[in-house]
Every structure is written in structure tokens, then in C-alpha cells.
Amino acid sequence: MHSMTGRWKTRLRLPEHLLTGIWGERLAATYLKRRGLKIIGKRVRVGAKDELDIVARDKNTLIFVEVKTRKNTDFGRPASAVDKRKKQNLSRAAMGYVRRLKKKPEIGRASCRERV
């Protein structure tokens, strides 16, 4: 990448674990699209410390997806990395996302669901 001063900048290389996570999120989004869901957002920041990996819609249902990717099972299965605290954070982020919506879902006509 060439800067305005004429110096060449090197591309930043992300740590391996972040690259693995991004790869997993792409795979998950592709899977959801093939299942007929519409991807509304990826890596959506909600507030100062919350992030939703994928926000999708299936008809009248908002789906908040937490993606955990592992190269192997040496440290357990991906779902085992989502403990009670992480589930609470996901719920808080999902509620924050819904509060930010300009057009709020009608109670009884839309629903939300979380997936890991």
C-alpha cells in the first residue's frame, strides 16, 4: 500500500487465531445463506464491548449467531467455549441490537433466537 508521503507501508498481519475466527464466520455465513437466511450483518458492534458475529433473518425471526471456530478438538469442541457468561453477553448484545432498530419488531409477529 502506498502512502501520501511516498513511503511503502507493510500490510498488517492478523494473529492466527483471529484469521481462524474470520474464516469460521465466513463459513457460517455461507452455510446460513444456503439454508435460505438473509445475512443482515457480520461482526456488528453493539455498545462499547459487545459484538454479534452474525445477524441474520429468517422470515420474521431475527437470528443472532455466535461463531466459535477450532482447527482441532485439542481444547474441546467449539460450543464448549460458550459458557454462561458468554451466553449472557450474547443476550445483552442481541437486546442492544433490537433496541437500536428504527423499526422495532412487533411483539407476537417477530421473534429472536440465538445460535452457537
Task: Give the residue carrying C-alpha cell 465466513.
Answer: 26
pTM greater than 0.85 (yes/no): no
Is the Cβ–Cβ distance between 43 and 24 less than 8 Å? no
pLDDT for 40? 93
pLDDT digits (tens, 9 = 90+) for 29-54: 999 999 999 999 999 999 888 999 99
pLDDT for 75? 64
Q: Spell out the domains of the chain, with CATH numbers in brackets.
A: 38-115 (3.40.1350.10)
**What is d(CA 68, CA 22) in angstroms, rounded to the nearest whole number?**
10
- Residue 57 reports pLDDT greater than 60: yes
Beta 61-65 vs 111-115: how paired, if at all? parallel
pLDDT digits (tens, 9 = 90+) for 61-74: 888 998 887 776 66
